[in-house]
Amino acid sequence: MSTLTTPSSIATGSSDPYWATLVSSGTTSNPDTTTKKHYAATGSGGPTDVVFELNNGIITVDVNAPFTGTDWPDFVSKDGFQINGASSITVTPGDTIYLFNQVTQFGSFVWDATWTSTPPVLQGASSYSGTLTVDGINLDYEIPATSSAGTYMLMSSASATPHLNIVHGSTLSSGVVPNFDQTKIWTLLSPTEDELDRISPPQTRKKVSCNFW
């Protein structure tokens, strides 16, 4: 899940020292969370003036949220001071955010891409296995359900292209090559083209399990 990682203070570029910086204003009764941050003007003495919130990937800047002051600012916009003002807007990285009321400009700042963070999706280790078995004139293959998903290849020394592409999911994959050519070498390859098992005249075998971390 994405989280807000906004800094403890944000410069607004305002010439008014009261509004030159927004500082974190979360309190015990109105705490900051990983998806909600409260900010107040440096000179406001603590009451929250602006609230940032992240919900389902959408970032909201609100100047009229609960616990915000009732005086300043009245409006926020991405288009400029005194232009298309609203009490709440949605923003994306790179947007300039303007704070103002009917006559006063309280400053602006750019929403930085680093102010939101999405943890990486951890990829589990891949583990590939499979077997080949001779059954009379037939060649059987089997890929267990525990083997990682992907397209496995059954190769014959008669050709550089796969004799069979086996799309494996989360359940057992098995099948038969009827009346296979027993004068050729047959190999079962993983999706990473590592050899898992081999049948070669006179049916000598080489079986390998591959784990990738």
Whole-model pTM? 0.56
Given 98, 117, 136, the domain boundary residue is 117
pLDDT class of 71 with cuts at 50, 70, 90: low
Residue 69 pLDDT > 80: no
**Do residues 49 and 37 lie in contact, with contact meaning Cβ atoms separated by under 8 Å?**
no
Structure tokens at 71: 């005086």
Structural domain harbouring 162: 126-207
10 and 100 co-located in one domain: yes
Q: Average model confidence (pLDDT) for the chain?
A: 86
Average pLDDT over residues 10-26: 92
Given 77, 95, 117, the domain boundary residue is 117
109 and 148 co-located in one domain: no
pLDDT digits (tens, 9 = 90+) for 147-201: 999 999 999 987 888 999 999 999 999 999 999 998 888 999 999 888 888 887 7
**172: Cα separation from own chain's centroid:** 30
Contacts of 172 (CB under 8 A, 6+ apart): 142, 143, 144, 145
Average pLDDT over residues 51-59: 88
Residue 212 lies in a domain: no
**Do residues 88 and 74 lie in contact, with contact meaning Cβ atoms separated by under 8 Å?**
no
pLDDT digits (tens, 9 = 90+) for 98-107: 999 999 999 9
131 and 112 co-located in one domain: no
Separation of alpha carbons 98 and 76, rounded Å: 5
pLDDT for residue 30: 81
pLDDT for residue 42: 84
**Do residues 70 and 87 lie in contact, with contact meaning Cβ atoms separated by under 8 Å?**
no
64 and 106 co-located in one domain: yes
Structure tokens at 198: 């081999």
Given 117, 150, 169, the domain boundary residue is 117
